[in-house]
């Protein structure tokens, strides 16, 4: 059972298992907190051998949605057909963007005014922050809808006119120039595609931070419960990943995202991280001793050799040098004694 704010989800192997959780854990939680669960308003999504359920369940009181429907957790749709769910989600968002563009187009704003209103004021919070990038963190935007979204935003900034009905406008100054800062001759226009990639790459960047969090352990368990994704890196034997303690750094730094047998969302995280290679979110001076000493020596831009290049993997790892703590041990170890 997972609870986030006012959204609670239960993951069970069967409806009967879900009933046990509802009758014990959930009821106990409600009794302790004074809350009440409306089972008739709850929705269920069946997978695998139970995917035939599409009606209210008598035992649990939960209504299971149809094959082509989805349920939402924290606003994110969960569905048996993820591609169709993503198309439906972003189609609604695109229509809302176009409606708000039509509303703001009634004001006689300058080029800078339109860009500032759109990306720093009310529209930014309602469209970009919550309606696009939030959902893109969990569900990749279909390419055709992403293109239409970018076109709608750029045309609004360029011409202050409706983008509906196939209208178009040239962007003055050049679109690429608009993405630059004002001091560099642009208008600080937000590049939606880059922002979406950055949000997705941030997930992996946070995962690779040395701070120990519960969700990281859960993700590691999910990642290593199957060896299918390991085929994405044929040149690195699977058992070496554990012997050399590379853990999660190896798949996210070196694996081919297109060959990973993982959900589309995870593959997009890997692709975004490898494409952008974001810097560490935590500065080195903010880490404590134990976090620094546990840093890996490989796939880590903070650690380089004397020439400024990444450290070669094989030569060090075969000697047992995989983390900063191993180097400290080597430096402080007494020199070997040679005997005839």
Find out whether 62 and 56 touch, Cβ atoms under 8 Å.
Answer: yes
- Tens of pLDDT, residue by residue over 120-130, are 444 444 455 46
User: How far is C-alpha 316 from the chain's CA centre?
Assistant: 32
- Tens of pLDDT, residue by residue over 234-273, are 444 544 444 344 556 666 766 677 777 777 888 888 888 8
Longest CA–CA separation in the chain, Å: 92
Triad 253, 309, 220: Cα angle to 5°: 20
Quote the CA–CA distance of 90 and 146 in Å, as a whole number.
8
Find out whether 187 and 112 touch, Cβ atoms under 8 Å.
Answer: yes
CA distance readout (Å), 213 to 134, 207, 218, 220: 22, 9, 9, 11
Average pLDDT over residues 85-109: 84
- Closest to 135 in 3D by CA, of 91, 80, 182: 91
Q: Is the pLDDT of residue 152 over 70?
A: yes
Mean per-residue pLDDT over the chain, rounded:
74
Q: Is the pLDDT of residue 23 over 60?
A: yes
Q: Would you give the DSSP letter of residue 44?
A: E
Percentage of the chain surpassing pLDDT 70? 68
Quote the CA–CA distance of 297 and 300 in Å, as a whole number.
6
Quote the CA–CA distance of 217 and 231 in Å, as a whole number.
22
Average pLDDT over residues 36-61: 78
Model pLDDT, residue 250: 62
- Residues 6 or more apart in contact with residue 132 via CB below 8 angstroms: 93, 141, 149, 192, 196
> What's the token pair of residue 46?
């069946």
> What's the token pair of residue 81?
């057909």
Model pLDDT, residue 96: 84
Q: Is the pLDDT of residue 69 over 80?
A: yes
pLDDT tier for residue 285 given thresholds of 50, 70 and 90: low
pLDDT tier for residue 172 given thresholds of 50, 70 and 90: low
Average pLDDT over residues 191-219: 80
Q: Give SS3 for 68.
A: coil
Average pLDDT over residues 106-119: 68
End-to-end alpha-carbon separation of the chain, Å? 65
Find out whether 63 and 55 touch, Cβ atoms under 8 Å.
Answer: yes
Lowest mean per-residue pLDDT among 143-157, 239-253, 289-303:
239-253
Q: Is the pLDDT of residue 186 over 80?
A: no
- Closest to 51 in 3D by CA, of 8, 14, 1, 21: 14
Average pLDDT over residues 161-168: 48
pLDDT tier for residue 82 given thresholds of 50, 70 and 90: confident
Average pLDDT over residues 94-112: 79
Model pLDDT, residue 58: 80
Model pLDDT, residue 244: 40
Model pLDDT, residue 88: 92
Domain ranges of the chain: 2-66, 83-190, 197-331
Lowest mean per-residue pLDDT among 17-21, 29-33, 149-153, 261-265:
261-265
**Residue 123, number of CB atoms within 10 A of its CB:** 21
Which of 50-59, 136-145, 303-312 has maximum average pLDDT? 136-145
pLDDT tier for residue 118 given thresholds of 50, 70 and 90: low
């Amino acid at each position: 059972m997972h609870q986030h704010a006012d959204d609670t989800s239960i993951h069970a192997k069967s409806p009967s298992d879900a009933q046990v959780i509802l009758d014990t854990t959930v009821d106990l939680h409600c009794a302790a907190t004074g809350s009440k669960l409306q089972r008739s308003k709850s929705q269920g999504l069946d997978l695998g051998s139970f995917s035939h359920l599409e009606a209210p369940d008598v035992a649990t009181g939960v209504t299971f949605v149809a094959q082509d429907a989805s349920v939402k957790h924290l606003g994110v749709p969960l569905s048996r057909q993820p591609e169709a769910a993503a198309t439906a989600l972003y189609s609604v968002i695109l229509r809302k963007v176009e409606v708000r563009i039509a509303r703001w187009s009634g004001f006689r704003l300058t080029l800078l005014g339109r860009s500032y209103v759109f990306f720093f004021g009310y529209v930014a919070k309602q469209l970009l922050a919550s309606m696009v990038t939030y959902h893109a963190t969990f569900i990749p935007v279909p390419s055709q809808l992403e293109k239409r979204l970018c076109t709608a935003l750029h045309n609004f900034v360029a011409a202050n006119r409706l983008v509906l009905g196939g209208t178009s406008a040239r962007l003055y100054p050049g679109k690429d120039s608009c993405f630059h800062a004002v001091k560099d001759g642009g208008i600080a226009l937000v590049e939606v595609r880059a922002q979406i990639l950055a949000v997705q790459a941030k997930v992996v960047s946070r995962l690779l931070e040395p701070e120990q969090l519960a969700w990281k352990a859960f993700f590691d368990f999910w990642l290593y419960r199957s060896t299918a994704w390991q085929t994405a890196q044929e040149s690195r034997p699977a058992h070496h990943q554990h012997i050399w303690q590379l853990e999660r750094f190896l798949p996210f730094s070196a694996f081919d995202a297109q060959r990973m047998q993982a959900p589309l969302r995870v593959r997009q995280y890997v692709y975004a991280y490898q494409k952008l290679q974001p810097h560490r979110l935590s500065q080195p001076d903010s880490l404590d001793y134990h976090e620094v000493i546990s840093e890996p020596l490989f796939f880590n831009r903070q650690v380089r050799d004397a020439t400024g290049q990444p450290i070669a993997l094989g030569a060090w790892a075969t000697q047992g040098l995989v983390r900063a703590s191993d180097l400290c041990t080597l430096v402080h170890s007494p020199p070997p004694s040679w005997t005839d």
